[in-house]
Structure 1
Amino acid sequence: MRWAPDVSLPVGLQRALCLALLLVWVLLLQACSAVRLAYSQVPQLAYWQLDRYLDLSDAQTDRVRSELDLLHQWHRSTMLPQHARLLQQVQQQLPATVTPDQACRIYDEVRIQLDAVWAQAEQQLLWLAPQLSPTQIRTLEVQQAQSNADWKKQWLDASPERMREQRYKQLLSRAETFYGTLDEPAREALRGYVARSAFDPQRSYAERLRRQKDLVGVLQSIAQDRSDHQRALGLLRGYRDRFNASPDLAYQRYAQRLVEEGCDAFARMHNAMTPAQRMQAVQSLKGYERDFWVLAAQ
């Protein structure tokens, strides 16, 4: 089973924290000049997400901001050079055709780096879990419910045809920002991936609910003995393990299939690109690599 994201920290914080690593990939969708500005805003974005989900107290806010600044400094000095070196490796592969296995190896490397971010964040923010009040845990549940309503509206309430069209348009937009306008062979490869995909909104939603319920239960259990930090750490790591490898073996197989499908789809689409489009992708990555080296040196 390939690595899955770790959310042993409260839901919502994970999204903001992973911005630091996902700048490598998500900001491929934006102008290169946006990278440095966006990176400087990561601690603030992380704080906003965490406060939104937990409604932090004044005392918690002060320490959270301090810890997020330290996490950001660590990421700048430790992880940005690793991200830049990974981009160098990818640049060397993109001018040629790629295999699904090569694509999955890149995916695995990204996840390994993300795991390092989670591990560091866990060390610096573990103190917060025992401090959460019952009211804050209820606030988390409310925010989860609101997020679930948005997810259902987008994926569960849509017809299968509309859902597939939504996925196609999203993926097309991302690919064209990276490669430029896609020719028909590449578009067909993308449409074929969406049409054949095993993505099942019902199954994904059920696992989403399981993870959320699991997290709330862990936080409630930690609250029963707030002084035992080793116990809290063990509970959070147990949750992380269950997130990375769901207790539902059928879901594990489903998740692995989605990863393999994605690797195959990327390879098919990339191989359908013209040499000029592949070089455009290389130049995009080169720009991010330069930005990461500059940021790491600051």
Structure 2
Amino acid sequence: MRIPLFPSSHTLRVAALAALAASALLLQACSTVKLAYNQAPQLAYWQINSYLGLSDAQAERVRSELGDLHQWHRDTMLPRHAELLQKVQQQLPSDITADQACRTYADVRAQIDRVIDELQPRLAGLAAQLTDAQIRNLEKKQADSNADWTKEWVNVTPEKLAEQRYKQLLSRAEGFYGTLEAPQKQALRQFVAQSSFDAQRTYAERLRRQKDLVQVLRQVSAQPANAERNSELLRGYLERFNASPDADYQRYARKLVEEGCAGFARIHSVMTAAQRAKAVQSVAGYAQDFWVLAGR
């Protein structure tokens, strides 16, 4: 399961290409990390193709770009991910403060931002090749995804929403710490009950980002040969994805991060020594897998 460093919902996802970053930071079960990582380019290609319907020439270029990005990530980022996990491993046997949790979160974000920097010019190259039909197909896929999202998170009662969030976080936590008992479950429910998470506000930002992306892609497709302009357009989109131009949403997002750091610290504080040992073992396994994948 994912390492439950709250709030995991704020991990950057930039189209399907970000799967290369997510494959290293949003972890599956330890036994499948190597397999999942090695399959990341194929999975990312499948996602991109499902959203855009690539031509043969586009597909060849995307596969090549994904292969290059994957090799760069293996050589450059996997050792950094492993080092960060080793740092986390050293902290887990003891209580962790909210400040420590937020520093770890900031380190994760910094590593993802480094991947996004490497990704940006590749996105610009693909965007310049898109047709109007492909952008319309992207919009349709966005609408389908939004229908599923609203069904699960918006069009539900507050009680059902809280229960869904609790079950999601419980699954992540138990994948990390092992089986949770009553005291840990109570702390988790308290975290959910006190959370400022607002599904409607989150959904509104989701729609803004999607509309922003489509507008940028249409601007790029209008002048595909202007590489410098198009790169700047994509860079601006990624910056707005990372930090919303909506000041109210920025404050909301910061509040969720702060609550997530405090929530993780509080829940970790009620874990038993055995549960913390299980977490240490889990992180050590992830770090070892990353070193092996990096060929170190």
Band of TM-score, shorter chain: over 0.9
Count of residue pairs the alignment pairs up? 288
Distance in structure 2 (CA, Å) of the matches to 1:40 and 1:134: 33
Structure 2: unaligned runs, 5 residues or longer = 1-6
Q: Which residue of 1 aligns with 2:207?
A: 209
Tell me the CA shift for residue 226 of structure 1: 1.0
Output one character per residue of 1:51-107: Cα deviation in whole Å (capped at 9) or x when no partner.
Answer: 111111100000100110111111111111001100110011000000011001111
Output the TM-score relative to the length of structure 1.
Answer: 0.93
Alignment of 1:115-264 (within 5 A): 115-264=113-262
Distance in structure 2 (CA, Å) of the matches to 1:12 and 1:160: 31
Alignment of 1:80-119 (within 5 A): 80-119=78-117
1:275 to 265, 273, 276: 273
Q: Which residue of 1 aligns with 2:17?
A: 13
Distance in structure 1 (CA, Å) of the matches to 2:11 and 2:217: 19
Distance in structure 2 (CA, Å) of the matches to 1:233 and 1:139: 22
**Contact map agreement 2:21 2:112 (CA 8 A) in 1:** yes
Tell me the CA shift for residue 239 of structure 1: 1.1
RMSD (Å) for aligned C-alpha atoms: 1.5
Distance in structure 1 (CA, Å) of the matches to 2:27 and 2:164: 18
SS state at 1:131 partner = coil
**Contact map agreement 2:17 2:44 (CA 8 A) in 1:** yes
Q: Which residue of 2 aligns with 1:52?
A: 50
Output the TM-score relative to the length of structure 2.
Answer: 0.94
Distance in structure 2 (CA, Å) of the matches to 1:20 and 1:125: 18
**Contact map agreement 1:67 1:125 (CA 8 A) in 2:** no
**Contact map agreement 2:139 2:214 (CA 8 A) in 1:** yes
Distance in structure 2 (CA, Å) of the matches to 1:262 and 1:295: 30
Tell me the CA shift for residue 123 of structure 1: 2.7
Distance in structure 2 (CA, Å) of the matches to 1:124 and 1:20: 18
SS state at 1:226 partner = coil
Distance in structure 2 (CA, Å) of the matches to 1:43 and 1:261: 34
SS state at 1:37 partner = helix
Distance in structure 2 (CA, Å) of the matches to 1:243 and 1:42: 23
**Contact map agreement 2:23 2:36 (CA 8 A) in 1:** no
Output one character per residue of 1:192-241: Cα deviation in whole Å (capped at 9) or x when no partner.
Answer: 11001111111111111011111100111111111101100111111112
Structure 1 runs of 4+ with >3 Å offset? 4-7
Distance in structure 2 (CA, Å) of the matches to 1:271 and 1:124: 43
**Pair 152,198 (structure 1): closer, same or farther in 2 beyond 3 Å:** same
Distance in structure 1 (CA, Å) of the matches to 2:166 and 2:120: 35
Structure 1: unaligned runs, 5 residues or longer = none
Distance in structure 1 (CA, Å) of the matches to 2:241 and 2:31: 35
**Contact map agreement 2:82 2:287 (CA 8 A) in 1:** yes
**Contact map agreement 1:21 1:113 (CA 8 A) in 2:** no
